[in-house]
Amino acid sequence: MKVILLEDVKSLGKKGDTVNVSDGYARNMLFPKKLGVEANAKNMNDLKLQKANQDKVAQEQLDAAKAYAELLGTKEVVISIKVGEGGKTFGSVSSKEIADAAKTQHGLEIDKKKIQLTSPMRALGTTEVPIKLHPKVTAQLKVTLKEA
C-alpha cells in the first residue's frame, strides 16, 4: 500500500515522502497514530499544493533576507568604549551591544544570536561583522569602535 507520511517516521522516511508499506502496518500503525494517509489522488494533489506553498514561502523569506542584507551593507554602527593608556580598551563589545546600537542608531532589528562574532571586539577602528540572516544569506555590518 502506498502511504504519504505526515510526520518523520524512523527507518521509513521523512514528512511528505510517499512510501510503500504493508497493508497491516499502514492500518494498524500509521493511520491510527496519524503518521500517514493513503496515497490516493486527492491526498497526492494536496501534498503537491502544500509543497508548492512551502517553496513559495521559502523563496519569499530568501528574497526578504537578501533585501535586508543589502540594507545592512549600507549602514555603519558606531559604539563608544572606554580606553586607557596606550589605546588599551576596558572590556569588549559583545553581539548584544552591537544589536542594541543598531536599533538605537538606525532602527534596525537584529537578533543578537545571528551576529557571528568569532571573539568579542576589543580593538578601536572599523570592523566588518557577519550577520547570518538566512541559511543562504550572510550580511556584513560595519561596526566602528571609538574612544569614549
Residue 112's SS3 state is: helix
pLDDT in tens, the chain (148 residues): 999 999 999 989 999 999 999 999 999 999 999 999 999 999 999 999 999 999 999 999 999 999 999 999 999 999 999 888 877 888 889 999 999 999 999 999 999 999 999 888 888 889 999 999 999 999 999 999 998 8
DSSP alpha helix (H) spans, the chain: 23-25, 41-73, 95-106
pLDDT at 130: 95
Query: pTM for this one?
Result: 0.72
Residue 17's contacts (CB-CB under 8 Å, 6 or more residues apart) are 4, 5
